[in-house]
Structure 1
Amino acid sequence: MPKVFDLHAADPPDRNGSAARLSDGAGSLLREQAAFRSATRAGQVAPIPTPPRDPVVVPFPSLPGRSVTPSLRRPFQPRPITLYDIPGSPPRFQTSAVRFRRAPYVRRLPIGKILLDNGAVSEAGLRRALAMQKELGLRLGDLLVQTGEASDTDVTAALGLQYGMGVALPAPRTTPAFDALARHLPLAQVLEFRALPWSRIGSRTTIATTRPDRIDELSAQLPPTLGDCNFAVVSESAFDARLHALHGAAMARAAECRVPEHESCRRLRARGGATMLAAGLVALLALAIAFPAGALRFATLAGLIVLTLNIGLRAAALWSLRQGRRDGGAFCTVRTARAAAAPLPVITILVPLHREPEIATALTKRLSRLDYPRPLLDICIVVEADDQITRDALAQANLPVWMRVIPVPDGQPRTKPRAMNYALNFARGSIIGIYDAEDAPAADQLRRVAARFQTAPLEVACLQGRLDYYNPTRNWMSRCFTIEYANWFRMVLPGIARLGLVVPLGGTTLFFRRSALEAVGAWDAHNVTEDADLGVRLARRGLRTEILDTTTLEEANAHPIAWVKQRSRWMKGYILTWAVHNREPRALWRDLGPKRFFGFQLQFMGAILNTVLMPVLWSTIVLAFGLWHPIRDWLPGGNALPLALFFAVMTAANLGLAMAGCSTPHHRKLRIWTITMELYFALATLAVAKALTEIVLRPFHWDKTVHGSFGGDDSSAEIDTLHNGMATLGETARPGSGATP
């Protein structure tokens, strides 16, 4: 018989060891429950199931008379809160419900699997391309084509299968009616979406595109005049060919007037500026004839002032450059860690050629030395459409897939900047570079360009590389030309860049942010020194140019006639650039500021006046033989000694600056030739006379420089020796180094 246990035998102790001070009802119930639990644990009683009963109401011990109903969780009762504005406090943000629209998700087969199943790519090639894709961030199809792992045709067919679209057939024979309909799609949208109306089937228009992933955006912007549309995939080469045929004439016309008219030389077509210049020259000549002594006296004084200012500018550039090196290095502004963090950009290189079939093979070989991922390299060789001899030579040169030919339709003027404006429509890169036909850039040049643009502020819109010559020992003229270039690109340009002045760009080894280049209107098709003019327009918009510490070797002009032709074109362009930007001096002052305004006047017109007045300064040599000269009347006591001392100081300064510009190891052997530079610059007088004549008669005539005539094809050994020597001696920048700000 089980033992009966008295549930009321004792009071259960509370947590403090004392009896719970509860009301009679509550204390009796708790004692019963505690005694029952103790007996159950001791095995003295068996738990007896009890029928469900109503909840027991236990009065709250501290508040007599108030009872609560035990529950597992007390329901949450939100309490309304009223917010009051505090005087002087900022207003509260007004929030509203945000609605999200989920785009329909379509599961597509990977293009790599499609190509692999079709046998268009090997498994090893696909793995290599996928590994490169992680590093470069390009589309897989483009990578496979650029690396030669798959053909353009196979990738186009795979894109059609991936997006459930057909592949565009070869473009049918165009008709005026369909071409007029196709041009209803604006050119801006054609270039943005890489899409063109391809054919007309019944009442539906077929739109061919190289970017099927953007069809939804494109279809939303199609003009209603095209009617119902079908879509098909087309290869890049077929698209470019159709774009040339359909919009080539319009793009060629746009290339002629891309720069705003008030900043362009094309207003000289009316001969107004040329007539004014001719009238001014005639007036000066008439004054010189009517008052020869007074004219010679004033011209001599002006020549002395201009000579002093020009040498002073070069001295200031040298001082600024050396000051920068003492402050930590003129070419050490890039942090390599930051440069390595960002992916490399696609770089498009424009290489204009004109009737130069003999240089096609050498050009391909030199550009192949560039150490840059081929899928990110887009080299466009720009030729005139009717230049059949050059196009045939390029077709026989077996160009790699990362090089292509851009034919430029006929138009006027037939200049290098017009051709580059046209080719810019076909560029694929976010950085645009310029090389000449005979250029041999350093192998790591593009990596330095990409690194600098990734770390430079957005206001740095252009990087100018240094130019040097690989045939300096050809003859005396090539030696002097090399000395001049060494001074210009290693001393003057870096110095004036550090001084914050306008940088007149060189015609090659230039690299631009594409967005900035297009914002300023690219190149002036009517300016024969489009590079210097572009540098001024960049500066007027608050953008900066830096001199990059990398070298491109090219061919020095080693014949007097060829040199005069080339130099006359440069001087004509300088005169036109100065005239165009001084149409509104107030606007130029406002855009550039006082320092750069006066620097611009000295850099452009100062260089021209220095050449024009050089014969006048030479005329003072008669004073050494005791002959009379009009300037003697302005000398103290008619004594020519102060003037002789002045010329001695200027000559010594000029010679010292020339030697300072030849401080690099491979230029030091040329220092002995600096004493002959005065004879070399005498040819510039002939060039400026030719330039002034052409401004009056044919201001847009382009005197083409012939490349490859002075050792261009036989200089591979010299090029390799110079590049390797500069890299070994550290003459070029250290890896990751940057530019002169």
Structure 2
Amino acid sequence: MNKQLLNDVSANLAHAGVAGQRPISTTLVQSGQISAADMLAALACAAQDGTALDRILIADGTATPLQVLSAQAMHWGVTLLDTFVSPPDPTLKNLLDPSYCLKHGLLPWARMGETTVIATARPEEFQTLAPRLSATIGPVVMALALESDIQALIVAQHGRDLAVRAETQLPEDESCRDINRVTLRRGLIGGGIAVMCLSALIMMPALFFDAVLLLAIVTLLIAQGLKVAALLAPTPRFEPNESPPNQRRPTVALLVPLFREQDIAATLITRLNRLSYPKALLDVVLVLEAEDQQTRASLDRAQFPPWMRIIEVPQGSITTKPRAMNYALRFCRGDIIGIYDAEDAPAANQIDRVVARFARTPDRVACLQGILDFYNPHANWLSRCFAIEYATWFRILLPGLARLGFAIPLGGTTVFFRRSALERVRGWDAHNVTEDADIGIRLARYGYVTELLPTVTREEANNRFWPWIKQRSRWLKGYMITYAVHMRNPGRLLRELGFWRCLGFQMLFLTAILQFLLAPVLWSFWLVLLGLSHPLGDLLDPPQMVALTAIFLTSEAISLLVSLAAVARSPHDGLLLWVPTMLLYFPLGVIAAYKGLYELLVKPFYWDKTAHGHSPPDHAWADRPVT
């Protein structure tokens, strides 16, 4: 142990009896570091919001973290540690679990006889933890260090291990990380199915095509039935300006995974700065991959505010959004965890509404999903159709299915979790390319409920043909993976979800997958409407052909009706005339589905990155939703 550090700690212990006599506000004002007027304003905010004074001073930029920590050291009568003058003892790095250290902002620093000097950035919390620490590792004494220094030291000591944990923290039976592993059982099942299909196609082609047609028709009917049920399901009313009960507001952590987003990083900071929730209660974590130096350079030029910070994820065997979020979750504060994407522009009062809603719901409501919309819906035809599809999904289908009591797949952004529930289900599956859909079902299996909250985030519609195909193929591949993972043990799935939610899971995922894969079979019935003969005409009598054609036309009418209703509920009335063109839009999903199926077989964990920043908002205020 450094001799100077030993002397400092001993001297401070001798005077610890007078600690707490001098508030940090007095210290900072009397030292001339903060004006009396600025301190009075900060104290008023602390009294109004119930927020710790030190966090207000730092978030507002009134004081630096080091200035605040120095005042706290004087207040508590403890040593302020400097990593360069007195670095931590490397032999103590395994004394406490690194995840525990990150959660509580502390680090074993040095030994002083039988006593361990513990560096912390949260002295008030340390007083609560001290008895437990003493029972675990023996007598402890507190010293202070910057939380950024503590986290940097933990990363230096345990970063690789934490990265591995982020990849593997989900139990193997709940993860898809072994989905590309060929076992004897999987080989026999896959080979058996392939042989059966091929044999039926060769020996009984008529029966084979009849079976495929029947499956396509059944999934079509189920899909359209779900749309009608969701449209007719009553939706709960939320007061647009509901305020939380008279209680202390929680800290909200916002994880923003970024990868090759140098073109939009600066804009993201501007948009998040519009949030009206107290900045001292926000912990915005910009999550970067360690090798992504372009985005890092862009952020450094943007000079982000003190309530935002960067966490770099060490390289690993995969590079996915869920892996990055699992890693970053250990570094962030917050009882509520929110997720945003790089191009997101949330409503200014969104976090206020999320906090208010969580305060009024029981703990079993673990997740709130907001509405996603676009700020460039009029950029071209593809963006118009994408906006219509999003309006249908987020304004009718998801709210309706949730109201019906089904487990729902989440969106990848504007989704907020109770941290306790998120940690109980062990975060996200790092290998699943649609981690949002997977965790939505997993939350339901653990007994939790997701609600849809009518608060809007606008983002950039991916409106270039091939990037759209790549993005949609990743989504559909992820749906296939998610369905396969949760169907590993159908009996267990039924027990955990219950009959009704299990039925909803089957209908939602199977229709989402099969409707695209079997769409060419249904398209063939356009030949009848065009007066041409159908390939299955010899197998079906005229009344059957008429009935099937009627089903097909009715399903198109339902899709048209639901899309019109969805657009009417959105702020994009000008898109109503474009709804009939959705007939030309959904075939793109078929291309994406077969691309996703191919990737499922050859590279299931490949994350086909969507590039942002190529299509600006339609007008100056398009990226500012009002609810």
TM-score, shorter chain, exceeding 0.5: yes
The answer to whether residue 262 in structure 2 is matched with residue 357 in structure 1 is: yes
The residue matched to 1:706 in structure 2 has which SS? coil
Please say if residues 297 and 631 of structure 1, whose CA atoms lie closer than 8 Å, have aligned partners that are also in contact.
Answer: no
Could you list the structure 1 runs, at least 4 aligned residues long, displaced by more than 6 angstroms after superposition.
172-175, 200-204, 223-228
- How far did 1:289 drift? 4.5
- Quote the Cα distance in structure 2 between the aligned partners of 1:611 and 1:215: 55
Contact 2:18-2:77 at 8 Å conserved across structures: no
Contact 1:346 1:378 in 2 (8 A): yes
Equivalent position to 1:547, from 420, 438, 452: 452
Instruction: State whether residues 300 and 631 of structure 1, in contact with CA within 8 Å, keep that contact through their aligned partners in structure 2.
Output: no
Displacement, 1:136? 2.1
Overall identity of the aligned pairs, in %: 44
Aligned with 1:122 (options 18, 26, 35): 35
The reply on whether 1:393 has 2:298 as its aligned counterpart is yes
Tell me, in whole angstroms, the C-alpha distance in 2 between the residues paired with 1:567 and 1:231.
52
2:118 to 167, 184, 207: 207
1:482 to 387, 394, 406: 387
**Structure 2: which amino acid aligns with 1:265?**
C
1:245 CA drift (Å): 1.4
2:516 to 611, 622, 629: 611
Corresponding residue to 1:186 among 97, 103, 119: 97
Q: 2:66 aligns with which of 138, 146, 153?
A: 153
Quote how far apart the aligned CAs of 1:405 are. 0.6
* Residue 311 of structure 1: aligned partner: 224
Alignment match, 2:443: 538
* Corresponding residue for residue 623 of structure 2: 719
- State the distance in 1 between where 2:239 and 2:580 align: 36
Q: State whether residues 171 and 242 of structure 1, in contact with CA within 8 Å, keep that contact through their aligned partners in structure 2.
A: no
| Equivalent-residue separation in structure 2 for 1:500 and 1:254 (angstroms) | 34
Of the three residues 279, 285, 290, the one matched with 1:374 is 279
Q: C-alpha distance in 2, partners of 1:346/1:152?
A: 18
Structure number with greater CO (CA < 8 Å, separation at least 6) is 2
Greater mean deviation of Cα atoms: 494-503 or 641-650: 641-650
Q: Per-residue CA shift, 1:118-163, capped at 9, x if unaligned?
A: 2222111111111111122222222211122211111111111111
User: What is the aligned partner in structure 2 of residue 51 from structure 1?
Assistant: none
Question: SS of the counterpart of 1:662?
Answer: helix
Task: Give a deviation string over 1:328-351, Cα, whole Å, max 9, x none.
Answer: xx33379946x2422321111110
Q: How does 1:415-564 map to 2 (within 5 A)?
A: 415-564=320-469
Letter in 1 for 2:502: F
Do structure 1's residue 299 and structure 2's residue 203 form an aligned pair? no
How far off its partner does 1:595 sit?
A: 1.3
- SS of residue in 2 equivalent to 1:268: coil
**1:332 lines up with 2:332 in the alignment:** no
Letter in 2 for 1:475: N
1:659 counterpart = 2:545: no
Query: Is 1:411 aligned to residue 324 of structure 2?
Result: no
* Cα 1:707/1:489, change in 2 over 3 Å: same
Q: For residues 231 and 107 of structure 1, do their structure 2 counterparts lie closer, same or farther at Cα, with a shift above 3 Å needed?
A: closer
String of CA shifts for 1:398-439, please: whole Å, max 9, x gaps.
100111111011112210000001110111111100000000
Question: Where do residues 62-101 of structure 1 align in structure 2 (5 Å cutoff)?
Answer: none
Of 62, 71, 75, 1:162 maps to 75
Which position in structure 2 is the counterpart of 1:232?
Answer: 143
Query: Residues 711 and 292 of structure 1: is their aligned pair in 2 closer, same or farther, counting only changes over 3 Å?
Result: farther
Structure 1: tracts of 5 or more residues without a match: 1-103, 325-329, 733-741
**1:672-718 Cα shifts (integer Å, max 9, x gaps):** 21212122111111111111111111111101111111226x85432
Deviates more, 1:150-159 or 1:662-671: 662-671
Q: 2:600 — aligned with what? A: 695
1:248 to 159, 177, 182: 159
* Residue in structure 2 matching 1:270, options 181, 205, 223: 181
Q: Which residue of 2 aligns with 1:65?
A: none
Distance 1:670 1:226, change over 3 A: same
Contact 1:277 1:696 in 2 (8 A): no
| C-alpha distance in structure 1 between counterparts of 2:272 and 2:201, whole Å | 53
> Mind listing any 5+ residue stretches in structure 2 that lack a counterpart?
1-16
User: In the superposition, relative to structure 1, how do residues 144 and 335 fare at CA in structure 2: closer, same or farther (>3 Å)?
Assistant: closer
Matched, 1:136 2:49: yes
TM-score (norm 1): 0.78
Tell me the residue number matched to 2:613: 708
Deviation per CA, 1:451-497, whole angstroms, max 9, x where unpaired? 10111121111110000111111111111111100000000011011
* CA spacing shift, 1:433–1:464, aligned 2, 3 Å: same
C-alpha distance 216-454 of structure 1, shift in aligned 2 (>3 A): closer
Aligned-CA RMSD value:
2.6
> Which residue matches 1:633?
539
- C-alpha contact 2:180 2:601 (8 A) present in aligned 1: no
- Structure 1 residues 460, 294: closer, same or farther in 2, change over 3 A? same
Deviation (angstroms), 1:525 = 0.4
Mark the CA change 1:193 to 1:676 in structure 2 (over 3 Å): closer, same or farther.
closer
SS, match of residue 485 in structure 1: helix
Q: Do residues 195 (structure 1) and 106 (structure 2) align?
A: yes
The one-letter amino acid of 2:469's match is V
Which moved further from structure 2: 339-348 or 212-221?
212-221
Matched residues, number:
608
- Choose from 91, 110, 119 the match for 2:23: 110
From the superposition, tell whether residues 406 and 645 of structure 1 become closer, same or farther in structure 2 (CA, over 3 Å): same
Secondary structure of the structure 1 residue equivalent to 2:568: coil
More moved, 266-275 vs 386-395: 266-275
Q: How does 1:278-289 map to 2 (within 5 A)?
A: 279=191, 280=193, 284-285=197-198, 287-289=200-202
Match of 2:14 in 1: none
TM-score when normalising by structure 2: 0.91
Verify the 8 A CA contact 1:421 1:523 in the aligned structure 2: yes
Q: Which residue of 1 aligns with 2:233?
A: 320
- Against the structure 1 CA distance between its residues 632 and 521, is the aligned structure 2 distance closer, same or farther, given a 3 Å change threshold? farther
Assess if the C-alpha contact under 8 Å between 1:184 and 1:226 holds in 2.
yes
* CA displacement at 1:638 relative to structure 2: 6.0
